[in-house]
Structure 1
Amino acid sequence: MMNDLVKTIPNIPYLKTKAGPRDKDLWPQRLKEEYQALIAYMTKNKECDSDWFRLESNKEGIQWKGKCWLYQDRIKYEFDMQFEIPALYPVVAPEISLPQLDGKTAKMYRGGYICTSDHFKPLWSKNVPKFGIAHALCLGLAPWLAVEIPDLIQKDLIKAQS
């Protein structure tokens, strides 16, 4: 998994515009960069046969929702995913929620928000404004899924959808 991340990061463009939703003049430019980075990341994932999420936003680019999935023993485990761009973005990383898993693991906060404080948030802080949504998915959600989902499966706390 770590090897895959190291190979993937260079394929996600860094963002340049330091703007959040409250920056009315610069937010459209930042949002354009976010979409470009997400498209590049998703395209590379498809090329490498490692497609693992779908994502869409509201018109303002503030509320995001989609699906993410992981295969374990050739069985697909799929989850709803959602997050909101924080007012202090990009200084503050988005917090990603998988509501279906709320309360199933200690590495999660109320509401199904995944815990990224030990590993991802310090990395995000060092890379403002270069990191964006694609980086949060790649370096925050992907490793979390890779560690937590097999553990939840083994503990019989989640089942594959039929």
Structure 2
Amino acid sequence: MDAPIADSTKETVQKLPLLSTRASPRDGEAWITRLKEEYTALIQYVKMNKAADNDWFTIASNPNGTRWHGTCWSYYNGLRYEFDMEFEIPATYPVTNPEICLPQLEGKTAKMYRGGKICLTIHFAPLWQRNVPRFGIAHALALGLGPWLAAEVPDLVERGMITPV
């Protein structure tokens, strides 16, 4: 069973463009089309966040759009906690969601896999599966990483596992 999505998160996601091209990096020109859709959704998401004074990540990709990196941050008790973020597009994308990795947090929380990959299987993966190919990277950030940070950062701070920047 999926966890309920917060109203503010649901409202944000409903404003993101849905993607239509079902292509992975192995699909040549179709991947280029999909990548353009990904960038369009990401640009829209960044614009929405900036307009709402809710800027919380930076992101960039390698030239072929298969490896992504950036930073993400969360505030807790008025202090900023910032982390490197990276992921690769799986060969079976968009059927398989990307595994977002925060290497600095590896081993600091049970809600993480080896290599610093955040746990998205229970709540996010079923939602992703129901929305193939409409969901993309922006949706993974909004529905996966954002809620994960909101839940985990306070716990990590309270347990003394992370310090602010």
TM range, smaller chain: over 0.9
Task: Provide the rounded CA distance (Å) in 1 between the counterparts of 2:78 and 2:43.
Answer: 26
Gaps of 5+ in 1: none
Superposition map of 1:47-58 within 5 A:
47-58=51-62
* Residues 1:68 and 2:65 aligned together: no
Task: Provide the rounded CA distance (Å) in 1 between the counterparts of 2:15 and 2:21.
Answer: 19
Shift of 1:42: 0.6
- Which of 79, 82, 91 is matched with 1:78 structurally? 82
Superposition map of 1:1-162 within 5 A:
2-161=6-165
- Aligned pair count reads 161
Of all paired residues, the percent bearing the same amino acid is 57
Residue by residue, what CA displacement relative to the aligned partner does 1:17-40 show, whole Å, maximum 9, x if unpaired? 000100012000000000000000
Task: Provide the rounded CA distance (Å) in 1 between the counterparts of 2:125 and 2:67.
Answer: 20
Aligned partner letter, 1:124: W
Aligned partner letter, 1:4: S
Task: Provide the rounded CA distance (Å) in 1 between the counterparts of 2:10 and 2:126.
Answer: 17
Q: Secondary structure of the equivalent of 2:26?
A: coil
Q: Secondary structure of the equivalent of 1:78?
A: strand
Give the TM-score of the pair, scaled to structure 1.
0.98
Moved more, 30-39 or 6-15: 6-15
Residue by residue, what CA displacement relative to the aligned partner does 1:30-76 show, whole Å, maximum 9, x if unpaired? 00000000000110011001110000000000000000000111111
Q: Structure 1 segments of 4 or more deviating over 4 A?
A: none
Shift of 1:11: 1.4
How well do the aligned residues superpose, as a CA RMSD in angstroms? 0.8
Task: Provide the rounded CA distance (Å) in 2 between the counterparts of 1:39 and 1:30.
Answer: 14
Gaps of 5+ in 2: none
Aligned partner letter, 1:2: A
